[in-house]
Amino acid sequence: MKVIFTGTGSGKASLKRNHSSFLISTRSYNLLVDAGDGISKALLSARIPYNSINGILLTHLHADHYSGLASLIVQMKMNKRKEQLDVFVHKDISGTVRNFIYQSYLFEEKLNFKLNFIELEENITLPVNEKFSLTFRQNSHLDEYLQFDHSKKLKFPCGSFLFTVNGKNIFYTGDIGGGSDLSLFDDQELHYAISEITHVEMKEIINFYRAAKPKILFLTHISEEIKVKNLVPGKFKGKILLAYDGLIVTL
């Protein structure tokens, strides 16, 4: 299994980092986690063929995590994709994503490949295949937005995930609301972890690492405002790693 970081930036556009996304690559399935603005170019930079992607998972509907989906589907069409594309998305926003694709004039009859929507639910483990599964748990990243939905019609799912591949557990925080979200999977043994760094303090991440004891904790979603130099204390070198665009790790 490999994890390829196609983007490690925050929501703010940067010439140094693409928006946060990564590919979990196994012998039988390649899952892209998030598809924000510029994802097609990010995949080109990482030399990942569009049609090698079997599924795309959307953690939530902030533009830097999903707005490049339609453009990526166009690229797949232009590259003559024939195989089904799985789209993993929470059930409460599945209709929104379907409509986004439809409003982008991406009709399945013209695509020549099937879009297979797989709906996520709280704490339900979904098998991707016989050796790969994922579990969604709601975090607090979007809680503050509830007050602005005067129509009371919007939904605000935002996921942290446990990926289990060949018996290894990878915890991905996704965008979170604060340090308390780091413990969402504290009932599981964590072999590896990937954490965003924009919305959480480094001291909270270190406390999480000490408690969860993953072999390696990768930091991503790195804002240009964050002073990367000396961000990780020396005694955690090799254990807590700053990811960068194009980083490939074998787990």
Please write the tens of the pLDDT for every residue from 69-92.
Answer: 999 999 999 999 999 999 999 999
Beta strands in the chain (DSSP E): 2-7, 21-25, 30-33, 55-57, 85-90, 115-120, 125-129, 132-138, 159-165, 168-172, 192-196, 216-220, 240-242, 248-250
Interval 7-50: pLDDT, tens: 999 999 999 999 999 999 999 999 999 999 999 999 999 999 99
Residues 6+ apart with CB under 8 A from 60: 66, 141, 142, 156, 157, 158, 159, 174, 175
Closest to 57 in 3D by CA, of 131, 197, 143, 162:
162
Position 227 scores a pLDDT of 81
Amino acid at 33: V
Domain that holds residue 216: 2-250
> pTM of the predicted model, to two decimals?
0.97
The Cα–Cα gap between 160 and 118 comes to 17
Domain count, the chain: 1
Of 158, 150, 186, the closest CA to residue 64 belongs to 158
Answer whether residue 229 shows pLDDT above 80: no
Helix extents (H) in 108-220: 108-111, 202-212
Report the CATH number at residue 38. 3.60.15.10
Residue 108 has pLDDT above 90, yes or no: no
